[in-house]
Structure 1
Amino acid sequence: MPASTTPIPLIARDHLFGNPTKAGGQISPDGKWLSWLAPLEGVLNVWMAPVEEPASGKAMTTASERPIQQYFWAPDSKSLLYIQDKGGDENFLLYGVDIATGKERTLTDFENTRVDIIGTSETIRDRILIGLNNRDARFHDAYLLDLNSGDLALVQQNDAYAGFMADDNLDLRLAVAPNAAGGMDFFPIVDGAIAEEPSDSTDLADSLTTQPAGLTTDGSIMYWIDSRGRNTAALFAQDAQTGERTLIAQNEKADIGGVMGHPKTGEVQAYSFTYLTAEWTATDPDIGASLDWLGKQLEGDFGVSSRTEDDQTWIVWNDPLTAPAQTFIYDRNAETLAEFYTGRPELVGAPLQPMQTLELKARDGLTLPSYLTVPGDAEGPVPMVLLVHGGPWARDEYGFNSHHQWLANRGYAVLSVNFRGSTGFGKDFISAADLEWGKKMHDDLIDAVRWAVEEGIAQEDKIAIMGGSYGGYATLAGLTFTPEVFACGVDIVGPSNLETLLATIPPYWEPMIAQFHERMGNPATPEGLAMLKERSPLNSAGNIVRPLLIGQGANDPRVNQAESDQIVGAMKDAGIPVTYVLFPDEGHGFANPANNIAFNAVTENFLAEWLGGRSEPIGDTVKGSTADLVEGAEHVKGLKEAMAS
């Protein structure tokens, strides 16, 4: 590609990472109301408007300190519900807003409690089933919540189970408990009594790829996403009376990932799988006709985010890939598509770059589905950022990615790799990562880097590694275990010590601890403890020879602040430069846009210092956030000056 004679304009950080104009569009089940998230005095809140007058929206919530990120309609369309934590502590409480009166209240008013939604009903529309761990932080008791009165009634005390599944009558039908094999046991529940023996079980290999996927409204069919006896997870329908299973869908390369069920009957109407890109297949002809019609109207990727109970109106999102995402109101009867909103209209006309799909090969022959975005003016090798996803039991996907666009706009190739252990590609792909933290999982990333260099995409001496959570661990592993490969690293809420990580998991994760031990290493055995020590970057911190930037939330319940404090302390003791930014009001990631923008301002100037790409000046972003610059302002271009101004 020839180099452009005119520099590509910088895309402003706040256009990519600031508050969207609107997001999370939904329609009420009765079809009378539109809802969405939008800023109120700079903080995302829930808004609502009549379907006939979408421009007359009003804010229904008054969050002022932390953005609301998850909300949903009550089944009876009388209230809007949302969950919210405090400062990123992930103790999510449930709140409700009566749409007639505007009255807002806390529906689970408890301290140090995390709510789970167990089930909602098509026929009992004023109540839902929730789980609360206010009695024992490890386990969620099941309660019936009256959404209008706020009354809570205990349904099932829980002293052993990781979760429950309910039917449309809001009766518990299945309890799930971990087993000694590292998998799960599924116990039927009849008339409130939990069976003594499980009806189904998984071992470690199937634990992340097999689970019930819901019941039909009449309770006659239970759907399963199931990998037992196969590699990729398929979709099955099981007769609740006879136990007979019928295969509905399967794919050789990818697990069945998404299901559309009829709003009233719960019967599966379409399913999806995502290998490199997402693909939907309808089992219902009418749904198929609607998806086909939408496919002809929209460019790029699209999906259905909300449906009315009569299934005549859908809220449809569209990702054009190189333009900002849009959301539409689709009238299925009239076959009309009305624009609801553009999430980030400031990106219209911005120089967004296409994402490429790749199949890379690991050194042992394993195929690694990956994604690459290159600068629009790239000619020959350029600096590169290896952007590593968290989890690690998660995955990267195809589509608009704000970090890919931001970094490509700054002059970097951006490579995201689904390394072994990533989900969605079958259980064998996940199991290939068992006990391979810092080893074969890391080798996959190094093999991807070598590919990018050999293909003339990346400059070998100007490659950064960056990521959050497990991606932060991968960054620390990269700078300690392969210290000469990367020019610098950016670690966001990444664990540095696997021993202390496992010792400080949230209490409600304790039912899963056996699986962590089987996949990471068991500290209760000499071999497991030795492995965890060996794979912990903290114990090799003296190997670091390249610049490191760390971002951490002080309230992170998953990766405690001590994980960052420990490695920063070790680097200081060894005289190794490090830059450390701590956010006192954040948790596992940075939800407040001002904090996110501030850290990204530091990041892009850090990368500019060590890779030579472009950057927007830091300006007053850090001062305008809650950031505590603990260490190392001198290692980031312009940071000392920005803090002093």
Structure 2
Amino acid sequence: MAVTKTRNLPLMEQFFAVRRFSSVLEFTADGTHLLFASNISGQFNLWRVPVEGGWPDQLTAFADDTVRGVGVSPTDGRIVFCADHDGDEFHQLYLLDSDRGWPEKLTDEPKVQHNVGSASWSPDGTKFTYAANARKPTDMEVWVRDAETSESRPVFGEGKFSFPGHFSPDGSKLLAIDFRNNSDVSIHLIDVESGETRELTPHDDDAIFLPGPWAQDGSGFYMVSDAGSEFRGLAFYDLASGSHDWVEQPTQDVDDVAMSADGRVLGWIVNDEGYDRLRLRDLETGQDLPQPELPAGARPHLTGAEPPLAISPDGTHAALIAASPRRPPEAWVVETRTGKARAVTDSRLGGLLEDDLVEAELVSYPSFDDRDIPAWLYRPNVDGKAPVVLSIHGGPEAQERPVYQALYQYLLSRGIAVLATNIRGSTGYGKSYQRLVQRDWGGGDMQDWEHAVKWLRGQDWVEPDRIGVYGGSYGGFAVLTCVTRLPQLWAAAVDIFGPSNLVTFAKAVPPTWKRFIARFVGDPETEAEFLMERSPITYVENVQTPLLVIQGATDPRVVKGESDQLVDKLKSLGRDVEYVVFDDEGHGFTKRANELKAYGLAAGWLEQHLLGS
């Protein structure tokens, strides 16, 4: 049994005494301040901080609503943003004066999703664009709203799952995407006045085309694409020729691109084995700007959405939210001319220093088909052998990144190691690897988890009979698959809102997802037998592992019934299961008190069953 070297152990609350961020980051219209959404107040509200740093101003005072997207008018600085209630993901639109006032609620449709982002405003500030399924629950359409008359009209997306991109420099055109599935996205050009549309990137095989900012002269725009490549590169699309040229060859994924309003500075983020690398270029000279002096890490996410890269209107500053394994997320501002960077927030509140925390080590292990599966290994500072938690991220087409994970660091302080895997289906390793999990949930991925345990048991520092498994969303499905189909491997398990029955899960997903769920998981109408064969609920009688299940009552992605049916069956079988439901949370935790309670329960469960404490 492992014995920790530290006698006076920090409390669990100290590791969680950090500030989190949602998917909001934008400069004000004059470039002097940075807007972000953080849970400083206990909920994700909108804040504004000078680019030099200092205490931020709180712009909203929500207790139950979460700010998830924001756009700033380039002319008068007005802010349009979206927020949802209790994590239900039915985001409503709000308008906020740049200097004073209270948010004006623009929409009040509790069963409609409204999404707005940093590219929402037209260059003259007279209108903004957003996505909403206001006319038909299954169709996410692109809408344009007049900022003065409040008139809104759909301009694209009937029968589609679509989102707006940038307005052209003269405001007459608008880019939009048709999101067909996780591997297939196309760009359309909309004439804002007439409503006429043209697909700019028609293609036969699945490919991703994501629009970025326009060139100042309106001749074309930057985009990210994996067409003809394993990875997503950065290209410039020329409207006259209908073709594109690479700016950044697709040898690693480009995850985001932004440009200053004056067209002078272009920035993009490269995914380098999970690390975010920011690149900046002076478009007037064509020369790369100095490498930003940022800590090695990546952007965090809230419910899968990362805060975007932001560049000030005059190009003097860039900004991003970044975290590393030993430092919680901060808003960083970069001087583009020099590369010098500074954190303009301070999220470390628990009295812990970087030396008190554990760095992540990038490792890999072989799976059943000789693929090397990448993973992040966190080893505690202990004498002797240590228990391990296998952590499985959500998505599944997402990526475990080297960011601050309070639960990991707490477990490490107690002598428990963590192996956080990027099994087949994870992003960042090429589209062929990503597509391996499509329509194969509970197939090759399950063998990756089994081989992770085999690899761990081959390490001389691992306590082989004290391995736990932990995950949320798809990671929760993974946990349930592990304890039902690989029941002999685990000493403890924690499932956070994971699907237990792939048929009922696929039938209950949000209406806008139904068009691609068959490609993503399987068709619940025509492939029910296949989906049940892959469902944890089918094998529930095999469960031997003590299991903690955590669920949000308002979760629109994995509805509460997924956990209910599993827990009811386990209880009828007399298995060791504990079930905790948060009535005011959805697919994730937006309220700090709930976050502390949920992860405190998870930490306590893993400690109890892996350490016997």
TM-score normalized with structure 2 length: 0.87
**What is the DSSP-based 3-state SS (H/G/I as helix, E as strand, rest coil) of the residue aligned with 1:562?**
helix
Name the CA shift for 1:288/1:363 in 2 (closer, same or farther; >3 Å). Answer: farther
**Structure 1: distance between partners of 2:459 and 2:127:** 57
**Structure 2: distance between partners of 1:134 and 1:463:** 47
Q: CA deviation at 1:240?
A: 1.0
1:124 corresponding residue in structure 2: 124
2:296 corresponding residue in structure 1: 300
Q: Is 2:571 the partner of 1:572?
A: yes
Q: What is the aligned counterpart of 1:255 among 239, 253, 256?
A: 253
1:437 corresponding residue in structure 2: 441
| Aligned residues of 1:17 and 1:596 also touching (Cα < 8 A) | no
2:596 corresponding residue in structure 1: 597
**Structure 2: distance between partners of 1:188 and 1:81:** 23
Q: CA deviation at 1:429?
A: 0.3
| 1:328-347 equivalence runs, <5 A | 328-332=332-336, 340-347=344-351
Which structure would you say has the larger Rg? 1
2:370 corresponding residue in structure 1: 365
Amino acid at match of 2:470: M
Name the CA shift for 1:585/1:424 in 2 (closer, same or farther; >3 Å). Answer: same
Deviations 1:147-186 (A, max 9, x none): 4x4613314264312215453216334562649x984565
| Aligned residues of 2:477 and 2:499 also touching (Cα < 8 A) | yes
Name the CA shift for 1:290/1:129 in 2 (closer, same or farther; >3 Å). Answer: same
Amino acid at match of 2:45: N
**What is the DSSP-based 3-state SS (H/G/I as helix, E as strand, rest coil) of the residue aligned with 1:247?**
strand
Amino acid at match of 1:10: P
1:524 corresponding residue in structure 2: 525
**What is the DSSP-based 3-state SS (H/G/I as helix, E as strand, rest coil) of the residue aligned with 1:597?**
helix
Deviations 1:452-506 (A, max 9, x none): 2212243211111110000000000000010001112100000000001111111
**Structure 1: distance between partners of 2:235 and 2:494:** 42
Deviations 1:102-130 (A, max 9, x none): 13211223231111237435622342111
1:638 corresponding residue in structure 2: none
Q: CA deviation at 1:421?
A: 0.8
**Structure 1: distance between partners of 2:21 and 2:587:** 24
Q: Is 2:464 the partner of 1:460?
A: yes
| 1:126-275 equivalence runs, <5 A | 126-147=126-147, 149=148, 151-156=150-155, 158-166=157-165, 167-168=167-168, 169=171, 171-174=173-176, 176=178, 178=180, 183=184, 188-189=189-190, 192-194=194-196, 199-203=201-205, 206-207=206-207, 209-252=208-251, 254-265=252-263, 268-275=266-273
2:304 corresponding residue in structure 1: none
Instruction: Please report the RMSD computed on the Cα atoms of aligned residues, expressed in angstroms.
Output: 3.3
**What is the DSSP-based 3-state SS (H/G/I as helix, E as strand, rest coil) of the residue aligned with 1:404?**
helix
| Aligned residues of 1:10 and 1:410 also touching (Cα < 8 A) | no
Q: Which moved more, 1:394-403 or 1:481-490?
A: 394-403
Q: Is 2:450 the partner of 1:446?
A: yes
**What is the DSSP-based 3-state SS (H/G/I as helix, E as strand, rest coil) of the residue aligned with 1:134?**
coil
| Aligned residues of 1:215 and 1:266 also touching (Cα < 8 A) | no
Name the CA shift for 1:164/1:4 in 2 (closer, same or farther; >3 Å). Answer: closer
| Aligned residues of 1:40 and 1:59 also touching (Cα < 8 A) | no
Amino acid at match of 2:556: P
Name the CA shift for 1:142/1:247 in 2 (closer, same or farther; >3 Å). Answer: closer
Amino acid at match of 1:492: I
Deviations 1:484-536 (A, max 9, x none): 0111210000000000111111112233x2xx3134222333xx322101001
Amino acid at match of 2:124: I
Q: CA deviation at 1:437?
A: 1.1
Q: CA deviation at 1:580?
A: 0.3
2:302 corresponding residue in structure 1: none
Equivalent pairs: percent with the same residue? Answer: 25
| 1:37-48 equivalence runs, <5 A | 37=37, 42-48=42-48
**What is the DSSP-based 3-state SS (H/G/I as helix, E as strand, rest coil) of the residue aligned with 1:231?**
coil
Q: CA deviation at 1:64?
A: 2.2
**What is the DSSP-based 3-state SS (H/G/I as helix, E as strand, rest coil) of the residue aligned with 1:360?**
strand
Q: CA deviation at 1:93?
A: 0.8
Q: CA deviation at 1:45?
A: 2.7
| 1:481-520 equivalence runs, <5 A | 481-511=485-515, 513=516, 516-520=517-521
1:353 corresponding residue in structure 2: 358
Q: CA deviation at 1:96?
A: 2.2
Deviations 1:50-92 (A, max 9, x none): 668944x543212123454544534335333332111211101
Q: CA deviation at 1:352?
A: 0.8
How many equivalent residue pairs? Answer: 597
| Aligned residues of 2:552 and 2:587 also touching (Cα < 8 A) | yes
| Aligned residues of 2:469 and 2:493 also touching (Cα < 8 A) | yes
Name the CA shift for 1:602/1:200 in 2 (closer, same or farther; >3 Å). Answer: same
**Structure 2: distance between partners of 1:494 and 1:96:** 35
**Structure 1: distance between partners of 2:290 and 2:24:** 20
Q: Which moved more, 1:313-322 or 1:230-239?
A: 313-322
Name the CA shift for 1:530/1:343 in 2 (closer, same or farther; >3 Å). Answer: same
**Structure 1: distance between partners of 2:365 and 2:250:** 20
1:110 corresponding residue in structure 2: 109
Q: What is the aligned counterpart of 1:387 among 378, 386, 391?
A: 391
| Aligned residues of 2:54 and 2:345 also touching (Cα < 8 A) | no
| Aligned residues of 1:75 and 1:120 also touching (Cα < 8 A) | no
Name the CA shift for 1:430/1:29 in 2 (closer, same or farther; >3 Å). Answer: same
Q: Which moved more, 1:183-192 or 1:570-579?
A: 183-192
Name the CA shift for 1:501/1:548 in 2 (closer, same or farther; >3 Å). Answer: same
Deviations 1:577-635 (A, max 9, x none): 21000111111122111111111222122112211176xxxxxxxxxxxxxxxxxxxxx
Q: CA deviation at 1:548?
A: 0.7
**Structure 2: distance between partners of 1:25 and 1:185:** 25
1:91 corresponding residue in structure 2: 90
Amino acid at match of 1:366: R
Q: CA deviation at 1:576?
A: 1.7
Amino acid at match of 2:435: S
TM-score normalized with structure 1 length: 0.83
Structure 2: unaligned runs, 5 residues or longer: 300-307
Name the CA shift for 1:585/1:321 in 2 (closer, same or farther; >3 Å). Answer: closer
Q: CA deviation at 1:132?
A: 2.2
